[in-house]
Amino acid sequence: LVHVHSYSLKIEGGKIPIVISDSSSNYLFLRDYLNWPEWRIKAQFTLKKKLFSKFGVIDADTNLENGKKLVVFSKFAATVHKNLGAPVDKIEVIYPGLSSQNIQTKKAKKTVNILFVGIWFERKGGPQLLEAFKILLKKFKNLRLTIVGPIPKKFKISSLTIVQRDFVPRDELFKKFYPQADIFVLVPPKAEGFGFVVEEAQSFGIPAIVSRVYALPEIVKDGETGFVVRPSNLADLVEK
């Protein structure tokens, strides 16, 4: 069995079952992350479709004829692929799941820890979180912000109230950083493939604040498991 996530492939010789999955779409990556114009995206997709069909390459966006099923991670992703022409009867939504962690009852403490995890600081809403944190510090002195991921030098942070690490091994992230967090924040202003870190935080019982982008509103139940805020809306983020 071959499982392929968001890539194209061709199997040489023999018949091997293939499972293709996608969190959103390569189309959205080109449009919202790389800012390609629509004409360039359409030209590339047209060329890929012709080449892939000719050489028997299977791809979620351009040649799904030889595949029996396209597994996507959200209803949002399903809609995107339907709009790109994927057969409706071949698309199935299966949310990726994580086992619940051994959650310990937290003791009452004075400090409230906010956690952010993301490699692309600006694309994941890091600047908005920093601004919201500065505003909240004027009213609440017991806040601490932990940032896991590199920060561009243009963003100034205070070592007294913010802990920042460029990289944390997954084992340490699960044993130390998630268990110590009280609130998880991921508020991309424009695009987000899926948001696995949100699910990781939720597996520890941590409420999450996310922006209404892509599949994030499907992961967080607004008002129940966290809050969904308007993208790039600082006031909404501060309030929640």
Give the mean pLDDT of 139-159.
Answer: 89
pLDDT for residue 107 is more than 80:
no
Predicted confidence band at 148 (pLDDT cuts at 50, 70, 90)? very high
The pLDDT assigned to 97 comes to 83
DSSP 116: E
pLDDT for residue 171 is more than 90:
yes
Q: How does pLDDT run across 62-78, given as a tens digit for each residue?
A: 877 767 788 899 999 99
The pLDDT assigned to 84 comes to 84
The pLDDT assigned to 56 comes to 82
CA angle 120, 37, 218 (to 5 degrees): 50
pLDDT for residue 53 is more than 90:
no
The pLDDT assigned to 187 comes to 97
The pLDDT assigned to 237 comes to 97
Q: How does pLDDT run across 13-37, given as a tens digit for each residue?
A: 777 887 888 878 788 888 988 899 9
Q: Which two three-digit tokens encode residue 85?
A: 């022409």
Residues 6+ apart with CB under 8 A from 124: 116, 118, 149, 186, 187, 188, 192
**Which has the closest alpha carbon to 71: 33, 18, 32?**
18
The pLDDT assigned to 7 comes to 83
* Euclidean distance between CA atoms 38 and 48, whole angstroms: 15
% pLDDT > 90, the chain: 55
Average pLDDT, the chain: 89
Strand order in the sheet with 70-72: 2-5, 18-22, 70-72, 91-93
CA distances from 204 to 79, 104, 129, 180, 183 (A): 30, 9, 21, 10, 11
The pLDDT assigned to 188 comes to 96
| Amino acid letter, residue 186 | L
pLDDT for residue 147 is more than 80:
yes
